[in-house]
């Protein structure tokens, strides 16, 4: 038996932390239903801002609220506004890897689903285990809208990835000309 990813909420934003609650993570049931996460299910939570990693169980909050609230001791690991990855897992036999397709949801800053993906493991004559991400849909449109673009930070990131100033200027002028 292997422990594998069954569902993942990637980049969901913490909307609250309640130290005096009984423990758990409160999530919008509409989001959970889309990912296949059920109440009382244990999940792993990885804080992208602090690096903290915890495990707790899910309870459902108000439908449509887009809530993601850490409760009890877990509230000490995150702050409102932190982005986290929430991962539901299960144990399977290795041959089942080819049969499952875990759901992965990504989020915008308001906890709306930005993209729906599935992880797929497949076999080829060259390799027994191959992996791909199958992008299924972008509920909020095919293109992401950039808000509050920090051009200097974007240019610095492109420079750190090996682009020279001329290439950076070309990229920015082609793709961000509406901001000029």
Side-chain half-sphere exposure of 84, counting CA atoms within 13 A: 30
Phi-psi region of 155 (alpha: psi -120 to 50; beta: other; left: phi over 0): alpha
**H or E stretch at 170:** helix 165-175
Instruction: Show which residues are catalytic.
Output: 24, 57
Ligand-binding site membership of 7 (annotated): no
Find out whether 72 and 57 touch, Cβ atoms under 8 Å. no
CA-wise closest residue to 17 among 88, 54, 103: 54
56 among the known binding-site residues?
A: yes
- The whole-angstrom separation of Cα 157 and Cα 162 is 9
Known binder of ligand: residue 72? yes
Structure tokens at 1: 């038996």
The DSSP symbol for 149 reads: -
Residue ranges of alpha helices (H) inside 12-115 are: 29-35
Say whether 169 counts as a known binding-site residue. no
Binding-site residue positions for substrate: 56, 72-74
Binding-site residue positions: 56, 72-74
């Amino acid at each position: 038996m292997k422990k594998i990813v069954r569902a993942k909420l990637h980049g969901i934003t913490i909307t609250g932390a309640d130290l005096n609650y009984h423990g758990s993570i409160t999530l919008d049931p509409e989001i959970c239903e889309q990912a296949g996460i059920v109440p009382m299910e244990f999940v792993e939570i990885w804080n992208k801002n602090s690096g903290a990693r915890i495990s707790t169980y899910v309870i459902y909050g108000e439908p449509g609220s887009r809530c993601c609230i850490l409760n009890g001791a877990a509230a000490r690991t995150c702050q409102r506004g932190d982005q986290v990855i929430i991962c539901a897992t299960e144990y399977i036999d290795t041959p089942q890897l080819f049969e499952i397709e875990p759901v992965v949801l990504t989020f915008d800053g308001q906890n709306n689903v930005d993209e729906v993906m599935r992880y797929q493991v497949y076999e080829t004559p060259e390799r027994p285990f191959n992996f791909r991400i199958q992008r299924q849909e972008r509920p909020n449109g095919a293109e992401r809208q950039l808000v509050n673009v920090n051009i200097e930070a974007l240019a610095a990131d492109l420079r750190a990835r090996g682009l020279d100033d001329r290439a950076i200027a070309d990229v920015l002028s082609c793709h961000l000309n509406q901001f000029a």
